[in-house]
Amino acid sequence: MKIMSIVGARPQFVKEAIVQHELNKVEGINEIVVHTGQHYDENMSGSFFETLSMRKPDYNLGLSGGSHGKMTGEMLIAVEELMIKESPELVILYGDTNSTLAGALAAAKLKIEVAHIEAGLRQHPKDMPEEINRVLTDRISKYLFVPSEWGMRNLEAEGIREGVHFTGDVMYDIFLKMKPTFDENYHLELGLESGKYIVMTMHRDFNVDDAEILTEILKGVGRIAKEMPIVFTIHPRTKARIEEFKLNSMLKDMIVIPPIDYLKLMGLTQHAYAAITDSGGYQKETYFSGKKALVLMPDTSWIELVNEGINVLVNGDDIYDAFKGLKTGDFKENIYGSGDAAKRIVDIISKNI
Ligand code: UD1
């Protein structure tokens, strides 16, 4: 069976790593990996293939940047050509990026089956690009692999029942697999004391593309930085906006570093006090690490963590108070399965060869 996996953005490399590992174990499966090129900086892309011991992609389309329509459209054209050339029987897609939607559309229109890993998640604002991508991808997928109970309920509420499988979250699998290799000394290289710093990531359009909102967030975070060191691993989009809006001086109390690879970020997180993030993936990886996160979002597709009192949804106005109110405490375990999601997914796929 020929399978085409399509990845393009940072979190997708992490998910593909563990699924690829399981696919390799099955005789008769031939996987082709396509990288759309959406993320291209070495530390947003190449480093993941190395640190997670993945094969280099069979194709790299080099398509990135531009408006969402342009990016998605160019990917659609290019992946369709590849699908026609390679004739896969199944296309595997991850999450909610423009690469996901482009792959799903191209495959569905060629009547190639689509498997969506991380299906069923929903969140506000409904007009955020990721929400549009995931809703549409779910609609045209034959296999919907769902990471959480809440995802199952979302699909049920939308009347999507066929092909739906609860598997748990592949990001938990890879977290467990790679844990012994996390760079547990990285905080020392940054001069930080274990348990006494915060890790921050931020890149969502609704947080960084509006000067007023971004200023409010940096103001709130700046107050926290006066009390506890913040390591801000800065995404290219955020860096560009901060420069464009001339807000660089607001970062003066933070330790600003470029994006870092998976093993460094996870190592840093193991020793952190807590995290500040608007990343879908990272707000769970903090939970896997036994840390709390202040989530810079009006809503989240990982709402269980908020309901369990582990993560807190915040904005620029209330982030400081939320930081002061953080309590350490026991975490409910195994919210996202038992670390065998990739195996379950590959079992289901291979039964249908
Ligand atoms: C994308 C995903 C988001 C995911 C995030 C992870 C969509 C709609 N969103 O958002 O779900 O959480 O990836 O990081 O697909 N850039 C670089 N170098 C790079 C990558 C990007 O300079 O290696 C620049 C791009 O040119 C662009 C900006 O950063 O100007 C944003 O990148 P883009 O891929 O559009 O979306 P993300 O914000 O990264």
* 38 Cβ below 6 A of ligand 1: yes
The residue type of 163 is G
End-to-end CA distance of the chain: 6
pLDDT digits (tens, 9 = 90+) for 24-52: 999 999 999 999 999 999 999 999 999 99
CA of 346 to the centre of ligand 1 (A): 28
| Residue 144 structure tokens | 């919907």
39, 116, 203, 271: which is the annotated catalytic residue? 203
Taking the C-alpha atoms of residue 247 and residue 280, their distance in angstroms, rounded to an integer, is: 25
Mean pLDDT of the region 240-269: 98
Is 281 a residue whose pLDDT tops 80?
A: yes
* 98 Cβ below 6 A of ligand 1: yes
**pLDDT confidence of residue 25:** 96
Is 352 a residue whose pLDDT tops 90?
A: no
> Between the CA of residue 350 and those of 26, 32, 137, 329, what are the distances in Å?
8, 16, 21, 41
Is 331 a residue whose pLDDT tops 90?
A: no
**pLDDT confidence of residue 328:** 78
Is 218 a residue whose pLDDT tops 90?
A: yes
Q: In degrees rounded to 5, what are phi and psi of residue 187?
A: -65, -30
Taking the C-alpha atoms of residue 180 and residue 183, their distance in angstroms, rounded to an integer, is: 9
Which residues touch 121 (CB under 8 Å, ≥6 apart)?
96, 134, 147, 148, 151, 154, 301, 302
**pLDDT confidence of residue 102:** 98
The sign of the dihedral angle between the CA atoms of 334, 338, 339, 345 is negative
| Residues paired with 311 in a beta bridge | 293
DSSP-derived secondary structure letter, 57 = P
DSSP string, 292-310: EEEE-SSS-S-HHHHHTTS
User: What is the atom index within ligand 1 of the atom nearest the CA of 99?
Assistant: 15
* 41 Cβ below 6 A of ligand 1: yes
Q: Is residue 124 annotated as a catalytic residue, yes or no?
A: no
* 40 Cβ below 6 A of ligand 1: yes
pLDDT confidence of 322, banded at 50, 70, 90? very high
CA of 195 to the centre of ligand 1 (A): 30
CA of 107 to the centre of ligand 1 (A): 23
The percent of residues above 90 in pLDDT, for the chain, comes to 97
Chain CA centroid to CA 338, Å: 19
Q: Are 291 and 272 in contact (CB under 8 A)?
A: yes
pLDDT confidence of 249, banded at 50, 70, 90? very high
Is 199 a residue whose pLDDT tops 80?
A: yes
pLDDT digits (tens, 9 = 90+) for 50-76: 999 999 999 999 999 999 999 999 999
**pLDDT confidence of residue 268:** 98
User: What is the atom index within ligand 1 of the atom nearest the CA of 280?
Assistant: 12
**pLDDT confidence of residue 329:** 79
Mean pLDDT of the region 347-352: 93
CA of 38 to the centre of ligand 1 (A): 7
* Longest Cα–Cα distance in the chain: 57
CB count in 10 Å sphere of residue 347: 14
**pLDDT confidence of residue 123:** 96
**pLDDT confidence of residue 188:** 98
DSSP string, 139-162: HT-SEEEESSHHHHHHHHHTT--T
Q: Are 229 and 258 in contact (CB under 8 A)?
A: no
* 37 Cβ below 6 A of ligand 1: no
* 130 Cβ below 6 A of ligand 1: yes
Taking the C-alpha atoms of residue 110 and residue 113, their distance in angstroms, rounded to an integer, is: 9
* 46 Cβ below 6 A of ligand 1: no
Residue with the smallest CA separation from ligand 1 atom 21 is 39
DSSP-derived secondary structure letter, 214 = H
Is 86 a residue whose pLDDT tops 90?
A: yes
User: What is the atom index within ligand 1 of the atom nearest the CA of 281?
Assistant: 12
pLDDT confidence of 160, banded at 50, 70, 90? very high
**pLDDT confidence of residue 120:** 98
The sign of the dihedral angle between the CA atoms of 95, 96, 98, 101 is positive
Is 330 a residue whose pLDDT tops 80?
A: no
Mean pLDDT of the region 226-245: 98
Q: Which residues of 76-87 are buried (b: 16+ CB within 10 A; e: fewer)?
A: bebbbebbeebe
What is the overall mean pLDDT for the chain? 97
* 10 Cβ below 6 A of ligand 1: yes
Q: Are 262 and 201 in contact (CB under 8 A)?
A: no
pLDDT digits (tens, 9 = 90+) for 288-301: 999 999 999 999 99
**pLDDT confidence of residue 48:** 95
Taking the C-alpha atoms of residue 43 and residue 257, their distance in angstroms, rounded to an integer, is: 11
CA of 329 to the centre of ligand 1 (A): 34
| Residues paired with 91 in a beta bridge | 4, 114
Taking the C-alpha atoms of residue 95 and residue 121, their distance in angstroms, rounded to an integer, is: 9
